[in-house]
Structure 1
Amino acid sequence: MHYLRVLILGVLSVMLMALPSAYAGVNPEDGVYSNALSGKVVDKSSHTALPGATIYLPDLRVGAAADAQGNYTIKNLPKGKYLVEVHYIGYSQHTEIITISGVTSKNFELSETLIEKNEVVITGANLATSVKKTPTPISIIRRDYLDDNISTNIIDAIAKVPGVSQLSTGPAVSKPFIRGLGYNRVVVVGDGIRQEGQQWGDEHGIEIDDYNVSKIEVLKGPGSLTYGSDALAGVINIVPPAPLPIGHIKGNVEANYQTNNGLMAYHADIAGNNNGFSWGAYVTQKQAHDYKNKYDDYVFNSRFNNTNYGANIGINKQWGNSRLSFTSFNQHLGLVEGERDSTGRFLKLINDNGTEGEATATGSDNKSYSIMVPKQQINHQKVVWDNNLYLNNGGRLGLTLGYQLNQRREYGDVLNPNEPELYLKLQTFNYGLKYYLPEMSGWQTTVGVNGMQQKNENKGEEYLVPAYDLFDFGAFAVTSKTFNKLTLSGGLRFDNRSLHSKALLLDEEGKPASTGDAKFAGFNRNFSNISGSVGLSYEASDRVVLKLNAARGFRAPNIAELSANGVHEGTIKYEYGNQDLKPEVSTQVDGGIDFNTEHISLSASLFYNHINNFIFSRKLFNAAGADSIPATDNDAGYAAFKYQQTDANLYGGEFTLDIHPHPIDWLHFENTVSYVKGTASHATDSTKYLPNIPANRWLSELKGRFKKVGGPLKNAYVGVQMDMNFAKNDVFSAYETETPTGSYTLFNAGFGSDFVNKKSKVLFSLHFAVNNFTDVAYQNNLSRLKYAPVNEVTGRAGVYNVGRNFSVKLAIPIDFK
């Protein structure tokens, strides 16, 4: 580890050596920094001003809003070429590369449309760029989509994106899967750094507030190039709200109620910008009782509550910008075990005069918002300091530092309900330094280093994974250039991860001791690899874009895969790690086409992904051919699972067809199909298919969007959706590790509108929606509750997903003059 730190210091020194020459002879008062962008934003047809239109430079994270006459000005900009995005509700987003040199003037004309074709992305690229120019498939989910659709957490909100699915443990817990791969193979980015919070576990989700979001970008394919080990399947970048334009103070108040589980959510935020000094704060509170479906009725202890908050301050001046943000995610949730009595009703644990007992859960229990044992508590605090320093040579230096504290507690003793049995404390320090080189002959290049240092401790009386120290280092270079209609991009990366796992000995009472039985053996592992990618995007015409990308990714095994030894409560199993595991190495090829006309938009992507040393968990059998049940620290009698490896192949794709016949552009008939299959090389029939592969899916939605309705209504919509999930029979059936899942079709609907005054100012927005309005009882193939005990009355295995659910959401914007 010492030589790695020396290497980091060396790289940092080389990059920082650019500073003296970049600033040599420069005086901030001599006009070198007096670069600005100004102009006017108007309607392309009528040339009338578009007051309130936003002009934003994603790479610099600065922007402005047009005034009543459509005029705007953005000051304190560095020299160079930057992508500018101009946005106004009801108009197609305009994107353009602008050369900033001195006081630069640029007017924009926007076309009225309800179809977005010019989205800008920052995920997986060295600089902000148009989706058309990215060789890898990227989906974008904006705030209005999150408002229109019912969800209970941040991953649930994006699980309908083609190629994206969720592994869930009740409505509070969802983990993202991209093209059949999840857990540590998907990197989730929040506030510019990778989210670290025991991603290997099934029974807790992503610790990011679903209200503190401006948009979400989903990169489908290896993203290891800029994000390092673990981004084997892709990246989900959850982008917080950008700083407001100078001179603005705005806020929002939101409320949501859902009928199925009585969910009540409240959110408030406020932000401002005074002469380049920006600030913001938010708070979210959410609570729900047990959810229900027509087979299980109310699912006991599926309740949860969240209290999240955060704040940020920032400054944007001639030398660059700096932003400091703090977020706190706090969740309490029940753990569904699924035990029932002879009548098929769920059982609850009780304190029976000082001894542990069981009783039948009643209706009043199900409507309670109090969390019952077994339960879990997740606290995640995060501080991020993000900086951009403008260099006089046209380059830019970016430094991002972050600290995360993730504390996960499980409570299972009804006699001591407030004493955690399992308590994991994970501390992560994230670092990243990037140097954006000046443009050279059209090439845009970024070099950098990033990684993290982790420390995980066991603070409870039960143990699932050992305490460990981890150090992660990566160095990379990415570049791109546009040759007329062809954009070429790619790069290389080196990664090294050092893991020191600490030994743990337990005495006869199960307490840590210097002598005794070994719960965990101490070990050191070192993993390193080279990742790379090369891709191209070709704009064959104004209507057709062709894409091709080849990438190599790398993932080191996580701590649970290497050394777990204990009951994984929320997953209803006993887990064993495997210290002999090797890193996963992925080689993937993507190809795609986008086709857009006045009447239809079509997108198709195909992929093939070969993974060497694919890691998975399978059930163990004993010599008698029955479940292997560990006798130690396993009072519930859970079956044992152990991590194994095989070479794997995943292939499939996504297809989207949006019919929007001109001139009735308000009407959309959108269809998306997602297909993925995962197989193991040289396997038998029962081990041929990889576990945890989502079922194939067809989403079809008919939706009308109306910019102008009349009276107080504006930006209204109404739609109905069919969500068809095909049967999943090609499962890893060996040792009863995984069971088949039947097909099901859900129907959803929604409508809503902005309510405006006579000056077209939005007073409030209302959204109404219903999911599963035919009240279908179903089990998603990736639901962990599917493996709960059998209901002896009905013979049905496991617990079913959420039934019919109505939702109403109110949002009130507040503009402080």
Structure 2
Amino acid sequence: MKLFKVAAAIALCMILTITASAGNILKGSFIATIKDALTGNPIEGVSVYFSDVKVGGITNANGEIVINNIPEGKHLIEITHVGYNTISEYVDIIGETKKEYVLSHTVVESNTVIVTGTTGATQLKKVPFQVAVLNKEELLQNNATNIIDALAKKPGVSTLSTGPAISKPVIRGLGYNRVLTINDGVRQEGQQWGDEHGIEIDEASVNKVEILKGPASLIYGSDATAGVINIITNVPVANNTLKGNIFSGYQTNNRSTTNNISLAGNRNNLNWNVYTSVVSAEDYKNKYDGSVFNSKFSQKNFGGYVGYNGNWGYSHLLLSKFNLKAGLIEGDRDNDGYFIKPVAGGGEERATEADFKSRIPLVPYQNIQHFKIATDNSFKLGKQRLSINVGYQHNQRKEFGNVDDLNERELFFDLKTITYAAQLHLQEMKGWKTSIGINGMHQTNTNKGLEQLIPDYDLFDVGGYVYTRKTIKKITLSGGARYDTRNIHTSDLMNGLDVKGPAIKRSFANFSGSLGIAAQISHNLNVKLNIARGFRAPSIPELASNGAHEGTTRYEYGNSDLKSEVSTQIDAGFDFNTEHVSFDLSVFYNNFSNFILYRKLQNTGGTDSLINVDGQDLTAFQFEQTKASLTGIEATVDFHPHPLDWLHIENTFSFVTGRLKQSIEGNKFLPFIPAPRLITEFRGNIKKIRNHISNGYVKFEIDNTFKQHNIFKAYNTETATSGYTLLNAGLGADIVSKKGNTFFSVHLIATNITDVAYQNHLSRLKYAAENMSTGRTGVFNMGRNFTIKLNVPLNFSLNAGR
């Protein structure tokens, strides 16, 4: 009820304020001409976009663009075109505003506009923290089995995976509830606390991803102590246009197929988008395991939005529905090393070739359904702007593990979440751009399965903050403060009719904040420094879990006495860019008090404490807290040797180490920290190959992941991992008309060309059962894989109405 009162109050204030201010809102328009700096010729197809009001378009054959119905005021514009430098600057829209721009050819891009971690669209070089950006083009040119895997090539980003369908983001060594995922302005809420839970977002529908590395509690509250993954799906197309896209992809290793269709339109500023995807895969293969039984999955996704953009702002209604069925890989084999499966009536038998090639997961498997509806709004209030976002999500996760009753749901989490956020962007005063905001959520979980891993619970949190920024010549200062409260009330945790965990009622409150500076020392050199304090309230499983679930080898006990995690991070970096060299370096130190981790329990005999569940002995773990710190470095060097400006030689390096302030059983390292990684890519870009072939590229990549021996060895919690080197390659191009319009683009990608058998340090499959015939423990990652992608864009012009 508290949340509904807050939402109602916000809505009432919004309606009253808009009604009172509507008569004072003036129409603004933007007219621009964009030319080539070298030739003076107009450039067709240049993208012009105002991120904060979500309007934009592309230039015509004369290099001209007209964008109407822009709220008057100062807005950040982003002008982009392949092969040219990006222009981003603030434009003061007053009535009919006319501008002229010239774009220069460049091979280095360093002036991206972002929206993550701030209260409005901002130039990347003016934020004091580290943000990596992944655009649609990069997603097409690389291969991944899910959207989180696609992010893992960015420095500082890793994935914790449980097979090809389930991956969780890890930023600078931290994952689970320490990383917050945002999708089109809505905080994504599923069961991200578990190893075998993904984020319920389809890669094929994604347009852009922004990755903020470091505490982001100031803007987002609890659960953003490691960073934020901001996934942008719905982007309005230009006014009076209709755009479609047909995408199809195929991977040879697991015969994965992906098909996606999207259609977006904008008629007199009434804009909409609709998309649907179908993905399915057989069991994947590697050199040691052969076909990995029950690694198959099938996925369906549908979504879109409808909205209106006017001179007063915009209002969009978003909807998505995600459905994933994924096998749970247990890795059990017989004495001869063949994968086995349970059979009805008891007993086991070897998995057959038909089982490996089936696309329908077998027991045990999980079915995850995620429904989301949200409204995203921005209103001009005089010289101020009010942003409001309210969303409802229904996440259902079912585990099926009874081969004698395929409809029996051993676990069934039914999670309902309402999220809300409001920001008031105040009128700029003496160069200070200040926003005040409030956000939070109300969440309920109900168990509907036979077993309970976590109790039914009710959660409500709310937080308020102030954020401000000012640019003084070439120095930008930014920062703010925030206060949050979270109330949690659980029911008794039940085992049939018996209580195995008492009800819990806890409240958490904390301050967070940040202070940073970004300075443009010269035209080529930019320096950043940021200090941030973040916090995270303990999750429900950390407080109250008591049970086992498929996909892990653990029996987990919660700890109702846990306190909030508090982190303080110092982040420093610089980027140096010239015509032929770009170099980015960042270092960080993150200090935690009350860091939450789990470790194995021991019995009175000093050996592992085992809990027998359905005839299987599972090792018992319990959550506890200690002081800890993480230190790391990330670096990127991109070299374009003159006169071979088309050639890129790029190196990215990531390293993070986590340490306990006081050792546990002689162990000083935090568990599950990703191994150091160095990726070297040789890439050739050719803008025009022939009359009908353009934007071609060919690349070769050496992916070096080093050994990880700095592990938490106590109670055999974690094992060391050997290093490995993967060789990858790719090529692609656009097939175009005489006028340069793209008919379609094709991408050919090869990964793990030499078919290396390897285990990623953060793969949960490392801890699957031992293969008794070989002595190797666990299941290995995917082997050699070839991928083909075909992307067909469709563009139509609509006649403007009167």
TM-score by shorter chain over 0.5: yes
3-state SS of paired residue (2:572)? strand
Whether 2:347 is the aligned partner of 1:362: answer: no
3-state SS of paired residue (2:32)? strand
The structural deviation recorded for 1:5 is 8.5
The structural deviation recorded for 1:27 is 2.8
Q: Paired residue for 1:526, among 503, 507, 527?
A: 507
Alignment partner, residue 161 of structure 1? 154
Once residues 15 and 696 of structure 2 are traced to their aligned partners in structure 1, the CA distance between those partners, rounded to angstroms, is: 55
The residue type equivalent to 2:237 in the other structure is L
Alignment partner, residue 450 of structure 1? 439
Once residues 217 and 18 of structure 1 are traced to their aligned partners in structure 2, the CA distance between those partners, rounded to angstroms, is: 35
Once residues 373 and 363 of structure 2 are traced to their aligned partners in structure 1, the CA distance between those partners, rounded to angstroms, is: 32
Q: Paired residue for 1:663, among 640, 643, 647?
A: 643
Normalised to the residue count of structure 2, the TM-score between the two structures is: 0.97
The residue type equivalent to 1:385 in the other structure is T
Once residues 621 and 299 of structure 1 are traced to their aligned partners in structure 2, the CA distance between those partners, rounded to angstroms, is: 32
Once residues 287 and 812 of structure 1 are traced to their aligned partners in structure 2, the CA distance between those partners, rounded to angstroms, is: 21
Alignment partner, residue 592 of structure 1? 573
Once residues 394 and 12 of structure 2 are traced to their aligned partners in structure 1, the CA distance between those partners, rounded to angstroms, is: 31
Whether 2:42 is the aligned partner of 1:49: answer: yes
Q: Paired residue for 2:249, among 248, 251, 256?
A: 256
- Aligned pairs for 1:100-249 (under 5 A) are 100-249=93-242
Alignment partner, residue 390 of structure 2? 401
* Alpha carbons of structure 1 residues 369 and 338: separation in structure 2 relative to 1, 3 Å: same
* Alpha carbons of structure 1 residues 385 and 10: separation in structure 2 relative to 1, 3 Å: closer
The structural deviation recorded for 1:685 is 6.0
3-state SS of paired residue (2:150)? helix
Alignment partner, residue 580 of structure 1? 561
Q: Is the 8 A contact 1:191 1:384 kept in 2?
A: no
Whether 2:535 is the aligned partner of 1:538: answer: no
Q: CA RMSD in A?
A: 1.7
The residue type equivalent to 1:572 in the other structure is T
Whether 2:747 is the aligned partner of 1:770: answer: no
Q: Paired residue for 2:737, among 736, 757, 764?
A: 757
The structural deviation recorded for 1:758 is 1.5
- Aligned pairs for 1:453-492 (under 5 A) are 453-492=442-481
3-state SS of paired residue (1:682)? strand
3-state SS of paired residue (2:715)? helix
Q: Is the 8 A contact 2:512 2:533 kept in 1?
A: yes
3-state SS of paired residue (1:356)? coil
Alignment partner, residue 498 of structure 1? 487
The structural deviation recorded for 1:289 is 0.5
Q: Paired residue for 1:378, among 360, 368, 371?
A: 368
The structural deviation recorded for 1:419 is 2.0
Whether 2:424 is the aligned partner of 1:435: answer: yes
CA deviations 1:74-130 (Å, max 9, x no partner) are 111222211100112222221111111111111121112232121111000122111
Once residues 733 and 723 of structure 2 are traced to their aligned partners in structure 1, the CA distance between those partners, rounded to angstroms, is: 34
CA deviations 1:130-180 (Å, max 9, x no partner) are 111010011000111100111010101111110000000011110000000
* Alpha carbons of structure 1 residues 240 and 564: separation in structure 2 relative to 1, 3 Å: same
Once residues 382 and 14 of structure 1 are traced to their aligned partners in structure 2, the CA distance between those partners, rounded to angstroms, is: 24
- Aligned pairs for 1:342-357 (under 5 A) are 342-351=335-344, 355-357=345-347
Alignment partner, residue 377 of structure 2? 387
Q: Is the 8 A contact 2:108 2:580 kept in 1?
A: no
Once residues 531 and 740 of structure 1 are traced to their aligned partners in structure 2, the CA distance between those partners, rounded to angstroms, is: 36
Whether 2:23 is the aligned partner of 1:27: answer: yes
The structural deviation recorded for 1:13 is 9.6
Once residues 14 and 313 of structure 2 are traced to their aligned partners in structure 1, the CA distance between those partners, rounded to angstroms, is: 16
CA deviations 1:196-237 (Å, max 9, x no partner) are 001100012111111111110000000111111000000010
Q: Is the 8 A contact 1:686 1:732 kept in 2?
A: no
Q: Paired residue for 1:410, among 378, 385, 399?
A: 399
How many residues are paired up? 797
3-state SS of paired residue (2:125)? helix
CA deviations 1:640-674 (Å, max 9, x no partner) are 11111110010011011110123322111000110
The residue type equivalent to 1:753 in the other structure is A
Gaps of 5+ in 2: 798-802
Q: Is the 8 A contact 1:33 1:76 kept in 2?
A: no
Alignment partner, residue 80 of structure 2? 87
The residue type equivalent to 1:420 in the other structure is R
CA deviations 1:239-269 (Å, max 9, x no partner) are 1141011111010111111011110111100
The structural deviation recorded for 1:569 is 1.4
Once residues 281 and 154 of structure 2 are traced to their aligned partners in structure 1, the CA distance between those partners, rounded to angstroms, is: 25
Alignment partner, residue 59 of structure 1? 52
Alignment partner, residue 800 of structure 2? none
CA deviations 1:354-404 (Å, max 9, x no partner) are x12210112222111121000000000111100111112x11011101000
Whether 2:391 is the aligned partner of 1:422: answer: no
* Alpha carbons of structure 1 residues 147 and 196: separation in structure 2 relative to 1, 3 Å: same
Q: Is the 8 A contact 2:478 2:516 kept in 1?
A: yes
The residue type equivalent to 1:682 in the other structure is Q
3-state SS of paired residue (1:760)? coil
Once residues 619 and 27 of structure 1 are traced to their aligned partners in structure 2, the CA distance between those partners, rounded to angstroms, is: 66
3-state SS of paired residue (1:591)? strand
Q: Is the 8 A contact 2:681 2:701 kept in 1?
A: yes
Alignment partner, residue 609 of structure 1? 590
Once residues 250 and 100 of structure 1 are traced to their aligned partners in structure 2, the CA distance between those partners, rounded to angstroms, is: 27
Q: Is the 8 A contact 2:47 2:79 kept in 1?
A: yes
Alignment partner, residue 633 of structure 2? 653
Once residues 484 and 281 of structure 2 are traced to their aligned partners in structure 1, the CA distance between those partners, rounded to angstroms, is: 42
Q: Is the 8 A contact 1:433 1:450 kept in 2?
A: yes
Once residues 534 and 355 of structure 2 are traced to their aligned partners in structure 1, the CA distance between those partners, rounded to angstroms, is: 48
Once residues 137 and 393 of structure 2 are traced to their aligned partners in structure 1, the CA distance between those partners, rounded to angstroms, is: 29
Gaps of 5+ in 1: none
Alignment partner, residue 623 of structure 1? 604
Q: Paired residue for 1:278, among 268, 271, 280?
A: 271
Once residues 506 and 522 of structure 2 are traced to their aligned partners in structure 1, the CA distance between those partners, rounded to angstroms, is: 51
Q: Paired residue for 1:673, among 647, 653, 662?
A: 653
Q: Is the 8 A contact 2:27 2:72 kept in 1?
A: no
Whether 2:746 is the aligned partner of 1:748: answer: no
Once residues 16 and 313 of structure 1 are traced to their aligned partners in structure 2, the CA distance between those partners, rounded to angstroms, is: 20
Once residues 584 and 101 of structure 1 are traced to their aligned partners in structure 2, the CA distance between those partners, rounded to angstroms, is: 47
The residue type equivalent to 1:775 in the other structure is D
Once residues 108 and 216 of structure 1 are traced to their aligned partners in structure 2, the CA distance between those partners, rounded to angstroms, is: 27
Once residues 69 and 145 of structure 1 are traced to their aligned partners in structure 2, the CA distance between those partners, rounded to angstroms, is: 29
3-state SS of paired residue (1:27)? helix
Alignment partner, residue 554 of structure 1? 535
Normalised to the residue count of structure 1, the TM-score between the two structures is: 0.95
Identity rate of aligned residues, in percent?
A: 48
Once residues 14 and 331 of structure 1 are traced to their aligned partners in structure 2, the CA distance between those partners, rounded to angstroms, is: 38
My pick for the range that moved more, 621-630 or 340-349, is 621-630
Q: Is the 8 A contact 1:15 1:435 kept in 2?
A: no
Once residues 44 and 737 of structure 1 are traced to their aligned partners in structure 2, the CA distance between those partners, rounded to angstroms, is: 60
The residue type equivalent to 2:422 in the other structure is L
Once residues 672 and 798 of structure 1 are traced to their aligned partners in structure 2, the CA distance between those partners, rounded to angstroms, is: 29
The residue type equivalent to 1:651 in the other structure is T
The structural deviation recorded for 1:634 is 4.5
3-state SS of paired residue (1:801)? coil
Alignment partner, residue 699 of structure 2? 719
The residue type equivalent to 1:357 in the other structure is G
